Amino acid sequence: MSQFFYIHPENPQQRLLNQAVELIRQGEVVVYPTDSGYAIGCQMEDKKALERLCQIRQIEHDHNFTLMCRDMSELSFYAKVDNTAFRQIKNNTPGPYTFIFKATREVPRRLQNPKRKTIGIRVPDNVIALKLLETLNEPLMSTSLILPGKQMAESDPDEIRDRLEKLVGLIIHGGYLGEDPTTIVDFSEGNAEVIREGSGDPSPFL
């Protein structure tokens, strides 16, 4: 049975965030709100938690995973970013974008795309997510919570609880969210390439 925390979307309770981080560090898989529906995540170095996440979402290990970051300071540690890309991203974060880069050695190989050696990087425009990442003090390995048979990320935490409360360690109720996916911008070959248009305005990268 999972924990179910009601966390205020504008003034998150630090006590609950501390408990959430403790569960993550204990190897639990967590569901949490972002600016593009709910996401599911686990600690970056936790192999067993990643396997459980893949089972829940029914995805393979060559799925394009994302590191959810609290701010731009973590970007160059995990991604190979040139100055032009850095400026473009800085002007559009936090926001509903996922940026794809060649990964640095700091990213565990199992999180990288096995063929392209890339990783997704994201800074969400959601107060709960940012405070959770700040408390964790490292990126969270994440993917959108798109359940088997569905096309969009889950947006209703009560429905998520009905489906997943026996499968994950924690569900954070952070309100009822929109279902718009992120805009994906691929910088892995140098120039920006918009490979999916979502809720983030693609025009700065065209």
Concatenated DSSP letters of 149-189: T-SS----HHHHHHHHTTT-SEEEE------PPPEEEE-TT
206: in domain: no
User: Does 107 reside within a domain?
Assistant: yes
Assign 60 a pLDDT band (cuts: 50, 70, 90): confident
The total number of structural domains in the chain stands at: 1
Among 192, 195, 179, 180, residue whose Cα is nearest residue 92: 192
Flag whether 205 is in a domain: no
Range of the domain at 184: 3-191
In a domain, 201, yes or no: no
Amino acid, single-letter form, for residue 36 = S
Please give the distance of CA 95 from its chain centroid, rounded to a whole number. Answer: 12
Assigned domain for 19 exists? yes
- C-alpha angle with apex 133: 45 to 86, nearest 5 degrees? 90
Whether pTM > 0.85 for this model: the answer is: yes
Local confidence band at 9 (pLDDT 50, 70, 90 cut-offs): very high
Q: What is the CATH number of the domain that holds 51?
A: 3.90.870.10
